[in-house]
Amino acid sequence: MRKKITSLLVVLTFALCLHAQFKLPELSYAYNALEPSIDAKTMEIHHSKHHNAYITNLNNAIKDTDAASLPIETLMMNISKYSTAVRNNGGGTYNHNFFWTILTPVKDTKPSIGLQKAIDTQFGGIVGLKKELNDAAMKQFGSGWAWLCVGEDGKLFISSTPNQDNPIMDIVAKKGKPIIGIDVWEHAYYLNYQNKRADYLNNIWSVLNWNEISRLYDLAVK
C-alpha cells in the first residue's frame, strides 16, 4: 500500500511539474518609484501588460511539453530546440524578470570594489562604460536589448541582441552571464521620451541597482 501511495505521489509531482506555469513577478517598488527616469504609466503598462503577455504566451506555447518543467534559465540555454514562439516569449519572460531586478528607486548605489576595478580596467571607469553601453543600445536597430555581461574568461563585455534574445541563449554569437540589460523596445520608453532613445538611455543610469548588479557580477566570476 505504501509503495502504491509513493508511486502515486511521484506521478502527481511529475504531472504538476509538466503543467507548471510561469507567473508575473511582483515588483519590489511601486510603479512611480523610478520617476522621473521612468514614468509610472510606462512602468505599469510595461510590467502588467507587456511582461504579462510574454508570460501568458510562453505558458501557452509550452503547455503539455517537456519545457513546462524547466526553469526559465535552462529553457533559454537550450532555446535552439524549441519553437519561435517559445524563443520570443521565453526571452521576453527571462529578460523582463531580469530587468526589474537591476532597477531601484534607492539613490546613489555604487558598484562593489571588484566590479568597479573590472569596469576601470576594461572601460576606463563608469563614464567609459556608460558611453559604450549606450552606444550599443543606440545602434540596436529596432527592438532589442543592450547588455553588460561576464564572459567565460571572467572579463566584462558589451553586446546587443534583437527582439527578446539574450546572452544566455545557445543561439547568440557571444554568450555570457548578464549583469546589466537595458530594454530598448519602444514600449520601455516611448510614452515619456517618444523617439528620444538617447535621453531614456542617459536617464536610466540614475536608477540602476548597483547592489544587485555587483551581486550578479560576484556570482558570475566565481
Tell me what the mean pLDDT of segment 65-94 comes to.
96
Q: What is the pLDDT of residues 191-201, one digit of tens each?
A: 999 999 999 99
Question: Is pLDDT of 19 > 60?
Answer: no
222 — pLDDT class (breaks 50, 70, 90): confident
> Among 3.55.40.20, 1.10.10.970, 2.160.20.10, 3.90.1150.10, what is the CATH number of 39-222?
3.55.40.20
Contacts of 212 (CB under 8 A, 6+ apart): 101, 102, 104
Q: Which amino acid is at 183?
A: D
At residue 21, the pLDDT reads 85
What 3 state SS string does the chain have? CHHHHHHHHHHHHHHHHHCCCCCCCCCCCCCCCCCCCCCHHHHHHHHHHHHHHHHHHHHHHHCCCHHHHCCHHHHHHCHHHCCHHHHHHHHHHHHHHHHHHCECCCCCCCCCHHHHHHHHHHHCCHHHHHHHHHHHHHHCCCCEEEEEEECCCCCEEEEEEECCCCCCCCCCCCCCEEEEEEECCHHHCHHHHCCCHHHHHHHHHHHECHHHHHHHHHHHHC
Tell me what the mean pLDDT of segment 187-209 comes to.
98
Each domain of the chain, given as residue ranges in start order, spans 39-222
What is this structure's pTM?
0.89
Instruction: State the Cα–Cα distance between residues 160 and 146, nearest whole angstrom.
Output: 4
Is cis: bond before 167, omega within 30 of 0?
no
Q: What is the pLDDT of residues 144-185, one digit of tens each?
A: 999 999 999 999 999 999 999 999 999 999 999 999 999 999
Query: 181, 146 in Cβ contact below 8 A?
Result: yes
At residue 68, the pLDDT reads 92
| Alpha-carbon separation of residue 120 from 50, 90, 103, 125, 128 (angstroms) | 36, 34, 22, 4, 8
